[in-house]
Structure 1
Amino acid sequence: MADLFLAPFSDFEFMRRALVGAIAIALGGGPVGVFLMLRRMSLTGDAMAHAILPGAAIGYLIAGLSLPAMTVGGIVAGVAVAVAAGLVSRFTALKEDASLAAFYLLSLALGVTIVSLRGSNVDLLHVLFGTVLALDDRTLLLLASISTVTVLALALLYRPLVLECVDPTFLRSVSRAGTPTHLVFLGLVVLNLVGGFHALGTLLAVGMMMLPAAASRFWTNDITMMMLVSVAIGIVSGAGGLLLSFHAELPAGPAIILTAGGIYGLSLVLGREGGLLRLAWPGRHLEA
């Protein structure tokens, strides 16, 4: 049993690095995913994951597979698309979801085109699906920094974020914190997507943010517990996906997301808060 679960991490440094990276992504992305889900912005996260691609691709075009260049490019592109989509939805008849869809499709096509101009198919796969098994010290430091900033920012903004999820009209009536909180939150989304991009690629980065969050909703109604459960599911998904990748010789990034999807499926069936079995056989009246 120890050989099955512990030996890959004790014997291989690249597996330990990948596990640390997955834990860092789960610590930052899990709570952000919960608020995206509660604010009905799940598809916004997916759109913004694709939106960072052109900036990262331009960074790649200028400096190759450079961590600083691709990180700065991804952050700039993500923020630019978020602001542009907001302006289009505010000053035109187009709704925000439609404007985001338009921008993310253009971003994905533009990013793939830019990478293809200079790189090979291997470089394109690196950008789209990440290299979680090849994380170096600088990338791990970046992921840890992003998760730290995210946790601290969410701790400071917890009250207005919860109020905005529950009753945004009330928040606007009693405070002017709504708009700044929303902008900071979007910045945290972009940061975590950029961090996830370096490990899982632009196509899978949002998976570690949304699948654990969606699964946690089936186990609790409390927002704080939902965030903790989401982080725990993200960590288990990262470790389980890496083990699945190692033993079954599968790509590591997709294996992590498939593991998270499996946990989501189990939660959907077995969850105590709206799971299918709970709905099919509810407890007696007034029974927990």
Structure 2
Amino acid sequence: MLEFVYSPFAEFEFMRRALVGVIAIALGGGPIGVFLMLRRMSLTGDAMAHAILPGAAVGYLFAGLSLPAMTIGGLVAGVVVAIAAGLVSRFTTLKEDASLAAFYLLSLALGVTIVSLRGSNVDLLHVLFGTVLALDDNTLLLLAAISTITVSALAVLYRPLVLECVDPTFLRSVSRAGTPTHLIFLGLVVLNLVGGFHALGTLLAVGMMMLPAAASRFWTNDITLMMVVSVAIGMVSGLAGLLLSFHAELPAGPAIILAAGGIYAASLLLGREGGLLWLAWPGKHLEA
């Protein structure tokens, strides 16, 4: 068993790089996913993941598979879509979820079209599903920087973010930090999605945010502990997915998300906070 887990990472450098990359993604994306879930913005994360595609595609069009060009393009596109969707929902009768859906569908179609203008089907697959087994030093440094920035920013903004999850009206009544906190949080979402994009592609990047966060909710009600559990589930999912990919010869990105989905399904069944088995057999805490 130890040989099954250890040997791929001992023998192959690309497996070690991939593991470091998914650990970095889990460190930043796990806590962000928890706050997206608690703020009922889970589908917003999915929409933003698609929104970064046109910017990354424009960077690809001009510079090929260039890390700086695609990163800057993705960041710009994500911020523009977030602002545009907010303005549409504020000044028209369209709600924010509907405006985000419209923008993300347009972004996905535009991004795929731009990549197709220059690249091959292989390039398109790399953009959509990532290249987690081909992470170089610069990409690993980018992922590490994003996770560091995210954890540091969340440490500073933790209290207003929690207040906004619990009672946004109270936060607005006692402080003006609500709007800046929300904007910074959206920036962190875009930043982590751009990082995840380089490893898992635009279609799978949000999976490492939302699946561990959703699974963690079945194990605890404490927000801090929920973030810790989410990070741990993300790391375990990355390790399990890479091993599944290596031994079963499956695509690495989808294998990682499938592993996270398996942990989510197990949490849904066995979790102490609302898991199906615990609801079926609630135990002594409901007895007279």
TM-score bucket (shorter structure): over 0.9
Q: Alpha-carbon deviation of 1:2?
A: 2.0
Distance 1:10 1:230 in 2: 27
Partner residue in 1 for 2:61 = 61
Partner residue in 2 for 1:172 = 172
Matches within 5 A, 1:205-224: 205-224=205-224
Identity %: 88
Distance 1:48 1:227 in 2: 21
Partner residue in 1 for 2:91 = 91
**Amino acid in structure 1 at the alignment position of 2:231:** V
Matches within 5 A, 1:24-35: 24-35=24-35
Partner residue in 1 for 2:135 = 135
Distance 2:278 2:171 in 1: 34
Q: Alpha-carbon deviation of 1:3?
A: 1.6
Total equivalences in the alignment? 287
Q: Alpha-carbon deviation of 1:286?
A: 5.4
After superposition, what is the alpha-carbon deviation per residue over 1:159-200, rounded to whole angstroms, capped at 9, x for unaligned? 000000000000000000000000000000000000000000
Moved over 6 A (4+): none
> Which SS does the other structure have where 1:282 is aligned?
coil
**Amino acid in structure 2 at the alignment position of 1:104:** Y
Partner residue in 2 for 1:185 = 185
Partner residue in 1 for 2:125 = 125
What TM-score, normalized by structure 1, do the two folds share?
0.99
Q: Alpha-carbon deviation of 1:285?
A: 3.8
Q: Alpha-carbon deviation of 1:98?
A: 0.1
Partner residue in 2 for 1:147 = 147
Partner residue in 2 for 1:70 = 70
Matches within 5 A, 1:1-288: 1-285=1-285
Distance 1:244 1:270 in 2: 23
Distance 2:112 2:231 in 1: 31
Distance 1:284 1:233 in 2: 29
After superposition, what is the alpha-carbon deviation per residue over 1:129-161, rounded to whole angstroms, capped at 9, x for unaligned? 000000000000000000000000000000000
After superposition, what is the alpha-carbon deviation per residue over 1:240-287, rounded to whole angstroms, capped at 9, x for unaligned? 000000000000000000000000000000000000000000012457
Question: Which consecutive unaligned segments of at least 5 residues does structure 2 have?
Answer: none
Distance 1:226 1:184 in 2: 21
C-alpha RMSD of matched pairs (Å): 0.6
What TM-score, normalized by structure 2, do the two folds share?
0.99
**Amino acid in structure 1 at the alignment position of 2:118:** R
> Which SS does the other structure have where 2:221 is aligned?
coil
**Amino acid in structure 2 at the alignment position of 1:255:** A
Question: Which consecutive unaligned segments of at least 5 residues does structure 1 have?
Answer: none
